[in-house]
Every structure is written in C-alpha cells, then in structure tokens.
Amino acid sequence: MNILVSDSLSPKGVEVLERAGFSVAVKTKLSKEELLQEISNYEALIVRSATKVTKEVIEAGGRLRIVGRAGTGLDNVDTEAATRRGVVVMNTPGGNTITTAEHTMSMIAAMSRKIPQATKSMKDGKWEKSKFMGSELYNKTLGLVGLGQIGSYVTKLAQGWSMNVIGYDPYLAVDRAQQMGIEVVELEELFHRADVISVHTPLTNETRGIINTETMAKMKDGVMIVNCARGGIINEQDLGEALQSGKVAAAAFDVFEKEPVDPNHPLLSLDNFTCTPHIGASTEEAQENVAIGIAEQFVDYFKRGIARGAVNVPSVAPEALPQLQPYLSLAERMGRFQAQMLDGGLKSVTVEYVGEVSQLSVAPITVAILKGLLSPILEDVINFVNAPIVAKERGIEVKEVKSSDAGDFTSLIRIKVETGQKTYNLAGTLFHRQEPRIVEINEFQVEVVSEGHMILIDNVDRPGVIGMVGQILGKHEVNIARMQCSRAERGESALLIIGLDSPLAAPVVDLLKQEKDILSVRMVDLD
C-alpha cells in the first residue's frame, strides 16, 4: 500500500503507518502540476489544509482509494468528486476540540485584561500602568451561541473561572444542558444578559451575520465578543462600527470572512480588536493527535475494512456499497433539506422504509439521514461514525419502520421529524434507481431535484402570486433554474419551489416576506 503525505505531518503519524507495513512518501509543498503527476502512483493521500484535493487531482489518481485530512475542515477536499469516483474521504473530528476551546478562553482573557495592548505599549518603551485597567471574569456571564463539542468544553473552562454560563442551542436536549450546568435561553435573552459572547456554530444561511448592528443593539453596553468558529457569523463592518462607538468594548477573532485577511482590513486598525491568524487548532498536541488519528483510521480501513471518520461513506461491507450508495446519497440530501425546514429543537426522527429499500440493511441509510440532518445545524463535524452518538447525546429519539407497499414508487424513504413546535414530513425516492428526488414536503406532493439552491415559498392559493414572485426575482436579476407549484386543497395554501443558480440575497428574501399572500419563505442549500 503506497501512501502520499503532501503536507507537514507529525512523524508519529508516519510511524503508525510504517509499523502497519505501508509504504509512506512524504512530499510537501508540491505544485499543482507536481501533485497531478505524483498522485497516480498512490492508493492513499494524507493532507492538512495546504494541499487542494480538487476534482482534477482525484481524477488523476487512478489508483486512489482514500483521502485523509489530518484535522477537521474539509474545505480543501472536493468530497463530492471523491464520492463519485468511489474515493473515501476521512477527517479527524474532535482532534481540535480542546485546543480551540482553550484558544477561545485565551482570547477572552486577553480582551478582559487588555494584554495585547499592554504588550505593544511596553515594547514601544512605555509604562502606561493606569491606561490598561481591565475587568475580572469572576461572576461574569458568558453567553455561548452553540453548544457542540467546542462550546461544551468552553463551558467547563469558563465554569472553572467561576463564570456563569448561559447558552443558545435549539438542538440541545434540556437534560443534557442541565448535566453541563448551563442555563439554556433564547438567543435574544442571551444577547441581553451576557457580558461576553462567544459563537460556536457552523456558517449557514441562518447563522451568517447573526451578530450585526440590530442584534448588537440588544446587548449590554461594553459587551465583549469572540469568534473562533467560522468567519462570516459576525458582520465585520457592523462590529467595527460598534467597537468604535464603544457599544462593544472589545472583540477577538481567530477567523475571518476572507482569509488571509487584507492588511488594510478596518478591524485591524482598532486598539480594542484582538486577532490571530486562524490558529485555534495550532498546538503541537493537537497536530500530533490528528496525525496519529488519521494514521490509525487508515490502518483500520485497509486492514479491517472499517471506515472510521469517513464523511462520505458509512462503515459497510465493500460488496454492499454499490447497492446502498444511491440511497445513501438520497438520504443525506433529504436530511440536509429537512434540517433547513425546521423551527425549534429536534425531539425525534422516525424513518419509514417502504418497498424494495426495506429489504436492504437500512442502518447505514438512517445514519446518512442523521448526518445530513445534523450537519447544517451543529458546529461539530458530523460524519457516518459520530452522527448516531451526537443524536443520542442531544436526546434525539431515532426510530426505524419498514413496510412493503410503496404505492406508486418502487422504493420510498419517509422522514418524520418532531420538534418542540411542529411535525415535519419529507419523502424521497430514486428515479430509475439512481436519480434522487424529493416527492413529498409535508402535505404537498412534489417532484424536486435534490441539488443546488432552492427557495420554498408557502403562499395563499390565489391568482397572481406566481407572477408577483417572478416579478420580484426578475427585478433583482435572479435567474430561475426550475420551478414547480403544489397545493393540498384548492383556494387554501400552496407551495412554490424555485431552483436558483445561487443563494438568494437577504434583502430579496425580505421583500418576498412582505407580500400579503406570502406565508413563509425559506432558503434551502444542498450544495
């Protein structure tokens, strides 16, 4: 087995692979052209963040069976292209949990005691003791937006400093929060009460710019804000204005919307802004852990056929995968779709398998649904290994039901999700046993191509609504890729589903919501 390591990796990871009998070549800083030449000689590739594993690279790797990321993020790996070629993609989720949580707390301490500013002052030859009056964290309230693995560990650290921790996470079970000693509150209450706010969510349509001028107006005067999660969650321009006005006393970022950051970025000129160049996971211990972790996962895969940490395939027998793969793709897309339709925290998920699919081993398909359902709403990296564990930890009940009669379809997968507020239903199937389609959305019969960007509009079943929507989109130069309309009963409500070439801008969404015959507007992104 020949393995290429194309980015710097702890030698201990290489040692694990060599002890298992694999041939390992460490060739870092390869150019794109050099990588395309080299990759054809290897069955496996290990990268960190520098190497770009593009579709072109994957296609050039004729012998390539697995790509491993020693770390969490997979922005540099074309997972979709790998899946199409049957290449397994793995990462090491949780490898940076502790180090990122520690970095978050370090940022909070640095802000509260003005450590970077005092350091610069002293290096400039000054002794400005009175200038750097700080504030204690003791008995202060820390508000955590997102309570995944990193947010949970930040909680432990903050409680060790005698901070009061409140959190917003609609997908966390109440009893789990109580065990952690966290008071779960609504987002608006968190903004109102917290002395320090730290975000720990993924970047989605819902979380992009969640902290902005409007939400900061609800916060305490002199609040401190931290982002060691994803760039874009906090509106950087709005934050700059709040830092200048004093509404926000201090802010600290490890991540930015665009990286590397422009040296002329307005935030960098502010004395009350602390920043680091995306080093939250950059500790010797974390890098050693992820190197050993990905190496051990490779050994498990090649020696035992176990795909631990795989993000695009479950751990199933290789001979069963071709039959399951189309259903796995459908299931994950259905889960992602459903996640973006929900209001309120997840309570239970019931998956009904009908027709031919009920005769298969459906456990991996259920896991694929959970992976799709949880990935858009949690900061944690969700894969085929940890999805059931995360669901259990969050108190989400998962059920499977099988039946033989699929009616008009050969096979049908139906997902019923219960939240604290509502029940959501979704059904999907495979056309020609290969092409994924969503065929039911709650009470509406549809035929939705489950890909790309979509806008779902609940509206009154009345003449002129479709034309009005088309006019608004056309006025703002939004191209419609596909469109369909469904209704349950004449003259009542209808569902308009529009496929778009790109996500719809928030101002256009707001314009649609203002129309009297529009009941709700939701963006769904399956890219």
Say yes or no to pLDDT of 56 above 70. yes
Q: Are 111 and 5 contained in the same domain?
A: no
Sole residue written with tokens 């608006």? 188
Q: Are 134 and 168 contained in the same domain?
A: yes
Q: Which of 254, 275, 296 is the last residue of a domain?
A: 275
| Total domain count, the chain | 4
Strand order in the sheet with 453-460: 480-487, 493-500, 453-460, 518-525
Q: Are 27 and 118 contained in the same domain?
A: no
CA 21-22-26 angle, 5° bins: 135
β-strands 423-431, 397-403 pairing: unpaired
Q: Which of 266, 290, 313 is the last residue of a domain?
A: 313
| Among 494, 469, 493, 491, residue whose Cα is nearest residue 480 | 469
Longest dimension (CA), the chain: 81
Q: Are 248 and 130 contained in the same domain?
A: yes
CA dihedral 205, 207, 209, 211 (to 10 degrees): 160
pLDDT tens-digit map of 450-462: 889 999 999 999 9
Measured from the Cβ of residue 416, the count of other Cβ atoms closer than 10 Å reads: 17
CATH classification of the domain holding 527: 3.30.70.260
Average pLDDT, the chain: 91
Say yes or no to pLDDT of 14 above 90. yes
Say yes or no to pLDDT of 319 above 70. no
Q: Can you give the pLDDT at residue 47?
A: 96
CATH classification of the domain holding 340: 3.30.1330.90
Contacts of 13 (CB under 8 A, 6+ apart): 46, 70, 288, 291, 292, 294, 295
| Confidence band, pLDDT 50/70/90 cuts, at residue 172 | confident
Q: Are 129 and 236 contained in the same domain?
A: yes
**Catalytic positions:** 230, 259, 278
Q: Are 251 and 364 contained in the same domain?
A: no
Q: Are 163 and 294 contained in the same domain?
A: no
Q: Can you give the pLDDT at residue 483?
A: 93
Q: How far is CA 158 from CA 105, 109, 166, 318, in A?
A: 7, 11, 11, 45
Q: Are 308 and 348 contained in the same domain?
A: no
| Among 85, 96, 9, 18, residue whose Cα is nearest residue 53 | 85
CATH classification of the domain holding 74: 3.40.50.720
Residue 10's identity, in one-letter code, is S
Say yes or no to pLDDT of 406 above 70. no
Strand order in the sheet with 411-419: 397-403, 346-355, 411-419, 423-431, 435-441, 444-449
| Confidence band, pLDDT 50/70/90 cuts, at residue 318 | low
Q: In which domain, by residue range, is 239 found?
A: 97-275
Total residues belonging to the chain: 527
Q: Are 123 and 159 contained in the same domain?
A: yes
Q: Which of 416, 432, 451 is the last residue of a domain?
A: 451
* Rounded mean pLDDT, 1-9: 94
pLDDT tens-digit map of 208-238: 999 999 999 999 999 999 999 999 999 999 9
DSSP 3-state assignment of 26? strand
* Rounded mean pLDDT, 378-393: 78
Q: Can you give the pLDDT at residue 389?
A: 78
One DSSP character per residue, 174-229 reads HHHHHHHT-EE--HHHHHHH-SEEEE-----TTTTT-BSHHHHTTSPTTEEEEE-S
Q: Are 351 and 421 contained in the same domain?
A: yes
Q: Are 1 and 113 contained in the same domain?
A: no
Q: Can you give the pLDDT at residue 317?
A: 62
Q: Are 133 and 251 contained in the same domain?
A: yes
* Cα–Cα distance for residue pair 411/432, rounded to 1 Å: 11
Q: Can you give the pLDDT at residue 482?
A: 92
pLDDT tens-digit map of 472-494: 999 999 999 999 999 877 878 89
pLDDT tens-digit map of 99-108: 999 999 999 9
Is the peptide bond between 11 and the residue preceding it cis, with omega within 30 degrees of 0? no
Contact 257, 232 (CB under 8 A): yes
Tokens found for residue 260 = 């590397």
Percentage, residues of the chain above pLDDT 90: 69
Distance from CA of residue 297 to its chain's centroid?
22
Q: Can you give the pLDDT at residue 489?
A: 78
* Cα–Cα distance for residue pair 287/395, rounded to 1 Å: 32
pLDDT tens-digit map of 337-368: 999 998 877 889 999 999 999 988 898 999 99
